[in-house]
């Protein structure tokens, strides 16, 4: 799609602001990407409005990354008590987790605090906030659920995604999603997680760590599809060892409410009873009912907004960033896309968001951090060397735990550049951020080799692997 020559194409700059419109920019969606774009544009002098129909902060702050990570922290303290006892600490017997009286109220208070910060920062920038649903009526017009209609030179769609629940009998009536899990009135003692992606697997580990009996059912052959195959198997083994009743090749066939609980029948004939069933079976772009297709905005097969390299849609005045475009569905990516949009449209500096070598973390127990290519993707592109080490770290081996960590480097044979880094172990999410800098800079295996190790740490292994485990 070529639109650079249009009058309202990217790079049109500040001179065009407020040419007969109510706003220079109207943002639909109060998540991280939309708020960042709206705030920075407003701070630069644009007249900005933003509409959010639910709560400021979007999925990440209100019903995603932030509350989930707080639950991850909470879930680690129970198992840590057992480790403490093995190290000699007395009186650290693991008790019951107080969801209703302690954790849940504190969680909601924290989310309200963060929501207020988002709203305050955006308001302080000079942007107008509408607590309303917004629908696109044409290339420059937005209708609000309050009855108001406003016009804007540019419209930015940043409505994110939403959980998908399959058409399984009883699922819609009895199941919950990641949207509802943080609002449960009672802590579930028996929990079924349906799905095998990172959200499903994270929640399986969380509730297991908090003391629930957790089963995880996934229809595929192995959890965490799309990630490195060796890591997938390694994590599945460790998740089972920690107590999650993980089954692959298994789907829910039927669900019913029985005696105050949820009876579930699997496709293999098994029948079990749970207090809650959480469906983490994928997310879809949140574009239903926004008026985009009627306005001429092209949507993909999955409902995602189709954009070019500058986040511009098929309607030149309308842009989209974040999960609604289904490019890389991560909060930091949405923020970068929002910043690139402002640079392009309001600062006269056409900027493409950089989607290469984006690091990510899966907050399972143990954690998984990754940047770059998986072994499978790298091998499909070129000849590679694979360096891999799995071992019991000092902290665990001392107390007789069989838990292992894994470090893996994918290296190009032709250039010796490190194409991918994979780390499984406590703190992997923190470690991968630093490794990502090296990969982004194009570091070679020789660069890793000549880096002096920090001893004694488990992370020193990343610079100590000298011989390939396997090569093409």
Residues marked as catalytic: 455
Q: Which two tokens stand for residue 437?
A: 């800098």
60 and 160 in contact (C-beta within 8 Å)?
A: no
Q: Which residues contact 57 (CB under 8 A, 6 or more apart)?
A: 30, 31, 32, 35, 66, 111, 114, 115, 118
H helices of 32-179, in order, are 32-43, 58-63, 65-86, 104-124, 171-174
Q: Which residue has tokens 């090296």?
A: 438
Report yes or no: 172 and 165 within 8 Å, Cβ to Cβ: yes
DSSP 195-262: --SHHHHHHHHHHHHHT-EEEEEESSSSSSTTS-HHHHHHHHHHHHHTT-EEEES--EEEEEEETTEE
For residue 41, what are the β-bridge partners? none
Would you state the structure tokens that stand for residue 256, as one six-digit string?
């019913």
Q: Which residues of 345-358 are buried (b: 16+ CB within 10 A; e: fewer)?
A: bbeeeebebeeebb
Within 13 Å, how many C-alpha atoms sit on residue 190's CB side? 9
Nearest-CA neighbor of 143 among 53, 238, 270? 53
Residues in the chain: 472
Pairing assessment for the beta strands 261-266 and 213-218 based on DSSP bridges: unpaired
182 touches 55 (CB < 8 A):
no
Please report which helix (H) or strand (E) contains residue 277, including its range.
Answer: strand 276-279
End-to-end C-alpha distance for the chain, whole angstroms = 39
- What is the CA 72 to chain-centroid distance, rounded? 14
Distance from C-alpha of 163 to C-alpha of 223, rounded to nearest angstrom: 18
49 token code pair: 């409005």
């Amino acid at each position: 799609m070529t639109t650079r020559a249009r009058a309202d194409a990217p790079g049109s700059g500040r001179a065009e602001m407020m040419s007969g419109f109510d706003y220079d920019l109207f943002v639909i969606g109060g998540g991280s990407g939309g708020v960042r774009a709206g705030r920075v544009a407003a701070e630069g002098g644009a007249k900005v409005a933003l509409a959010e129909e639910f709560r400021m902060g979007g999925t990440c702050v209100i019903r995603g990354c932030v509350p989930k990570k707080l639950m991850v922290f909470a879930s680690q303290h129970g198992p840590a008590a057992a480790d403490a006892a093995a190290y000699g600490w007395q009186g650290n017997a693991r008790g019951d987790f107080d969801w209703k009286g302690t954790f849940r109220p504190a969680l909601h208070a924290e989310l309200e605090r963060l929501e207020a910060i988002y709203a305050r920062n955006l308001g302080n920038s000079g942007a107008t906030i509408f607590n309303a649903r917004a629908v696109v009526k044409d290339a420059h017009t937005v209708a609000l659920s309050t009855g108001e209609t406003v016009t804007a030179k540019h419209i930015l769609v940043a409505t994110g995604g939403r959980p998908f629940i399959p058409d399984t009998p009883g699922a819609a009536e009895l199941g919950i999603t990641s949207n509802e899990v943080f609002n449960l009135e009672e802590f579930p003692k028996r929990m079924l997680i349906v799905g095998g992606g990172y959200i499903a697997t994270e929640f399986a580990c969380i509730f297991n760590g908090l003391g629930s009996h957790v089963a995880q059912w996934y229809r595929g052959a192995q959890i965490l599809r799309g990630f490195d195959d060796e890591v997938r198997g390694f994590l599945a083994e460790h998740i089972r060892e920690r107590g999650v009743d993980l089954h692959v090749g298994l789907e829910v066939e039927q669900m019913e409410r029985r005696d105050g609980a949820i009876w579930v029948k699997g496709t293999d004939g098994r029948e079990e009873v749970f207090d809650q069933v959480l469906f983490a079976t994928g997310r879809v772009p949140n574009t239903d009912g926004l008026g985009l297709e009627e306005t001429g905005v092209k949507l993909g097969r999955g409902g995602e907004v189709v954009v070019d390299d500058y986040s511009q849609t098929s309607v030149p005045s309308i842009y989209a960033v974040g999960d609604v475009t289904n490019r890389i569905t991560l909060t930091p990516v949405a923020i970068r896309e929002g910043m690139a949009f402002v640079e392009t449209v309001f600062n006269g500096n056409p900027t493409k968001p950089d989607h290469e070598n984006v690091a990510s973390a899966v907050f399972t127990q143990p954690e998984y951090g990754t940047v770059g290519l998986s072994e499978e993707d790298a091998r499909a592109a070129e000849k590679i060397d694979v360096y891999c080490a799995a071992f019991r770290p000092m902290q665990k081996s001392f107390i007789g735990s069989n838990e292992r960590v894994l470090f893996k480097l994918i290296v190009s044979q032709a250039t010796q550049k490190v194409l991918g880094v994979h780390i499984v172990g406590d703190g992997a999410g923190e470690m991968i951020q630093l490794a990502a800098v090296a990969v982004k800079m194009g570091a070679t295996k020789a660069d890793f080799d000549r880096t002096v190790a920090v001893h004694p740490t488990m992370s020193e292994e990343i610079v100590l692997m000298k011989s390939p485990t396997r090569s093409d």
